[in-house]
Amino acid sequence: MTRHSMKRPRFAITSLTAGLFVVLALPAVTMAAMEPFFTAKIYDLKDRSKHMFNYTSEVEQNGESRTFVNTVTDLEGKVLVVEKTVATNGGRTVVSFEQDQKQLGTLGKLEVRDGKIHFSFTKDGKTKTDDEKVSDDFIVTSTLVANVRGEWAKIMKGETVKVRLGVLDRLETVGFQFKKEADTIPSGGPGHLVKMKPSSVIISALVNPLRFGFDTEGHHLLELEGRTNVKVMVDGKWKDFDGYTVYSYPAPKAEAPAATPAPEKPAKGSKKKK
């Protein structure tokens, strides 16, 4: 593992909403252009009537590779965060991931190649790099839900599922674990509540657990309580923002009705039956 002699930033989870939920019910056919997959509204966690941000996700599929572009804006439409992910294996295996955090002026990237995760993080014109061996349970935010879906049976049995989440501003992966918490989502509707928390006791003291509200079959994420990838200005400084995010999915495209075959014309000279 390569280490550069630059001090790591304070721990932060900066990308736990954008890009999480774009890989579950995608069509198997190859798409020619980006298509919308979901939209979301992000509210204040304590005052859930306070709409703070909007968030959209688009996806393009080329053979086995899927590209996800996720964008968070303020209520006036100003772009605050853009994330782009390329993944394979049904959206579970990361090829690359990048986050352009426009509020902070930072650009984080990672790429998986040669059995390693290669990180880079640019802030104030300075770029730091690092690498680490990739593990089978490695995820980024855009592949998180697909991996939860892959372990859905275990989670529904009450088992704990562990992952390594790529954290761009730390240039490393951090351990997290998922476990079922309830059979209702945060709003009280039907579904299942799955809690995600850091595996480390030290990091758990710094980051509150995230709570994911899935539909009853685990196909779609409906709600999320916890850290987002946007910031809020407090006393002249950017601070982490924990929110309540509600997701909406477009209706499936209706298939064109099959053409009704024209009635056969009777042969010339044939008589109609009475």
> Is it the case that residue 51 has pLDDT exceeding 50?
yes
Q: In this prediction, what percent of the chain has a pLDDT beyond 90? A: 69
Predicted pLDDT at 201: 87
- Residue 118 pairs in a beta bridge with 111, 131
pLDDT (tens digit, 9 = 90+) per residue, 158-179? 999 999 999 999 999 999 999 9
More confident position, 138 or 201: 138
The full set of domain ranges for the chain reads: 35-248
List of residues 6+ apart from 162 with CB closer than 8 A: 137, 175, 176, 177, 178, 199
**What's the pTM?**
0.81
The answer, yes or no, to whether residue 224 has pLDDT greater than 90, is: yes
Whole-angstrom Cα distance, residue 159 to residue 132?
28
- In this prediction, residues 8-27 reach a mean pLDDT of 45
Tell me how crowded residue 57 is: count the other CB atoms within 10 A of its CB. Answer: 25
Sequence-distant (6+) residues with CB within 8 A of 137 are 147, 162, 163, 164
Q: From CA 199, how far away is CA 14, in angstroms rounded? A: 17
HSE on the CB side for 75, CA within 13 Å?
6
Name the residue with tokens 């006036």: 76
What's the rounded mean pLDDT across residues 218-224? 93
Minimum mean pLDDT among 13-27, 74-88, 216-230: which range?
13-27
Per-residue pLDDT, 20: 53
pLDDT digits (tens, 9 = 90+) for 83-121: 999 999 988 999 999 999 999 999 999 999 999 999 999
Flag whether pLDDT at 215 surpasses 50. yes
pLDDT of 257 reads: 57
Q: In the predicted model, what is the mean pLDDT of residues 11-39? A: 53
Q: What distances in angstroms separate CA 10 from CA 13, 170, 171, 176, 256, one per listed residue?
A: 10, 8, 12, 18, 54
The average pLDDT across 128-138 equals 97
Q: How much is the pLDDT for 270?
A: 52
15 pLDDT more than 50: no
Residues 6+ apart with CB under 8 A from 138: 94, 112, 117, 163, 164, 166, 173
Nearest CA to 13 out of 128, 168, 118 is that of 168
